[in-house]
Amino acid sequence: MSDFSEKIKNHSFIVGTGTGVLINPHEGDFSYVLTAKHVIEHKATSEGFLKATDIRVFNWSGEPIAISARYVSPTDDLAILVTSNRLDAQMRASLSPPVRDEKLYFFGYPKTRRGGNPEDILREFPGEVQSAGDRQFILQLTGEPDWDQIAGASGGGVYRGSGEEAFLCGLEYRIEGDTASERHGRVLCHDFSLINELLEKENLPPIYPSSMNDFCSLVSHTFKSYDKAEDPENVRYLKATLHERAKQISKNGAVRPIDIYKARKEALLIKGSPLQDLYEDHLWIAYLEFLVISCLIDLHGNIEFSYVDSLFAKRRFLFSAHDGNWVHRLREIYHSDFRGLEVGGVVVVSTADTSAALQPKEQSTNKIVVDIGRVGTSQLMVDSVINNPALQFRLYHLTGMHRICVTDKEFDYGNYWAGHQDFEEQQLFEKLRGEYCAYM
C-alpha cells in the first residue's frame, strides 16, 4: 500500500452502516469524525438519529472509538461526530475546492468487504470531477462500479494528493440515480466549505493546523539557514538571542499565524502557488523570521497586529513551497498581489530553494521589466501609482539575505557570546541591524 493510501487508511473509520473520516480541530481535547448523517439515522428516536454514545465507530483494525457528541446538518446529509479523546490525526483539509476534470480519490468501507481481512476492507475509488459548484461536486468513478460495490462507503472522504501527502477535499454522501438504469458510477459529494459552515454554526473549533494557533511551536525551527556556517559555533549565540526575540513575539499571543492568514490569505503567496501552501509550517517559520528582523530594523518592541498590518505597506512577504530556483518564478512573483505596497517598498520572498541567491541578476530583472512594459499594468495587482513593480520595488530572497548578512560573516559573529564584556547582546543586535538594514 502506498504512503498516500496508508495515511488515508489510518484516518478512515467505519461509522454505523457507512464510513467516516478522522480529522483534528486546531484545539481541544477531542477529534472529529466527519460522515454522512444518514448512516446514523434511527427512526425510533425523537430526533431521528442515534444518540452519540450509541453510535458505533471503529478504525480499520476494529478498535472501537468512543463518541461523546454528534452534530447533524438540518439541511444537508452531513454529520460531525466528536470523539471522547483527542486521537492522533495528521490529515489536513484542502484549501482549494475541487474543479472540473480534476482527478480525486474516494475511500470507503463497502458492506461487501466488511468481515474480511482488515487490511483489505477499505476500498479506493479513483475518479474525475464531473461538475463542481454550490458547495458540492459530482465524482465520476473509474470503471463505473455498481451500487453494491459502493454501498457502505457513504460518508467516506474524497482526497487529492500523491506520495505521502493527502488532503481531504470533501465527503461522499450519495450514489447518483434512483434506479439501477440511472446509476453510472457517479457519486455526490460535499466540499469542505459545507463542513466549515456546520462547524461555525455549532460553534465548534475550526479545522486548521494547530501550529497556526501561535508562533510558539515554530520558534526553535527559525533561522536554521544560519547552520550553513562553516563553524556553527560562530552563530550559536546569535541564534539563541534571536530565538529569545521570537519567543517574545509569540508570548502574549497578540499576533498569531491564523490572524495573519485570515487577514491576508492569497496575498501571502507568490502568484500561482497552491492555496495549500498557506497551511505550510515553513511559511509561518519564515514569516516569524521576517517579523523578528523587521522588529530589529524598526527598533520595535512589543508586537501587536497593528504593527504587522503596517509592514504590509513597506515590506511585502511572499511565500511558495516550490523547491526549484526561485529566480525562475520572477514572472509569477511580479504578478503577485502588491496592492498597498509603497513605491520603493521591499519584497521579501521565501521558498524551499535552500541555495537561493539574494536577488536576481540584472539581466533577469531587465527581461522582466521589458515583459511587464509590453503587457502593461492591467494584468498586475498594483496600485495606480505603480508603473512597473520590477523597477519600483526592491526584491530579495530571505535565505539569500540570511547568507549575505550572517553566514558569509560568521567569523565576525563568532566574537559575540554571553558574558563577553565588549561584545554583548546590544552590540550584537546593532551589528545585525546594520547588516539587514541594507536590504529591508
> Whose CA is closest to 318, among 393, 368, 428?
393
Mean model confidence pLDDT for the chain: 92
Name the amino acid, one letter, at 49: F
**pLDDT tens-digit map of 285-308:** 999 999 999 999 999 877 888 999
**pLDDT tens-digit map of 341-396:** 999 999 999 999 999 999 999 999 999 998 888 877 778 899 989 989 999 999 99
The pLDDT value recorded for residue 38 is 96
Instruction: With cut-offs at 50, 70 and 90, classify the pLDDT of residue 419.
Output: low
DSSP letters for 52-101? GGG--EE-TT--B--EEEEEE-SSSS-EEEEESS------EE-SSPP-TT
**pLDDT tens-digit map of 56-66:** 999 999 999 99
> Whose CA is closest to 217, among 258, 186, 189?
258
> Whose CA is closest to 89, among 39, 164, 22, 2?
22
Instruction: With cut-offs at 50, 70 and 90, classify the pLDDT of residue 436.
Output: very high
Secondary element (H or E) of residue 133: strand 123-133
The pLDDT value recorded for residue 1 is 57
CA atoms within 13 A on the CB side of 16: 23
User: With pLDDT > 70 as the criterion, what percentage of the chain qualifies?
Assistant: 98
Q: Where are the domains of the chain?
A: 3-201, 210-437
Mean pLDDT of 115-142: 91
The pLDDT value recorded for residue 141 is 95
Contact 235, 226 (CB under 8 A): yes
**pLDDT tens-digit map of 66-94:** 999 999 999 999 999 999 999 999 999 99
Instruction: With cut-offs at 50, 70 and 90, classify the pLDDT of residue 179.
Output: low
Instruction: With cut-offs at 50, 70 and 90, classify the pLDDT of residue 181.
Output: low
pTM of this structure: 0.89
The pLDDT value recorded for residue 66 is 97
Mean pLDDT of 408-434: 86
Q: Which residues of 108-144 are buried (b: 16+ CB within 10 A; e: fewer)?
A: bbbeebeeeeeeebbbbbebebeebeebbbbbbbeee
CATH topology of domain 3-201: Thrombin, subunit H (2.40.10)
Cα 292 to Cα 124, 249, 262, 299, distances in angstroms:
46, 8, 21, 10
Q: Is 247 left (phi over 0), alpha (psi -120 to 50) or beta?
A: alpha
Mean pLDDT of 124-149: 92
Instruction: With cut-offs at 50, 70 and 90, classify the pLDDT of residue 182.
Output: low
> Whose CA is closest to 134, among 61, 189, 69?
189
The pLDDT value recorded for residue 252 is 72
Instruction: With cut-offs at 50, 70 and 90, classify the pLDDT of residue 425.
Output: confident
Cβ burial, residue 414 (10 Å; 0-12/13-18/19+): middle
Contact 94, 160 (CB under 8 A): yes
The pLDDT value recorded for residue 176 is 86
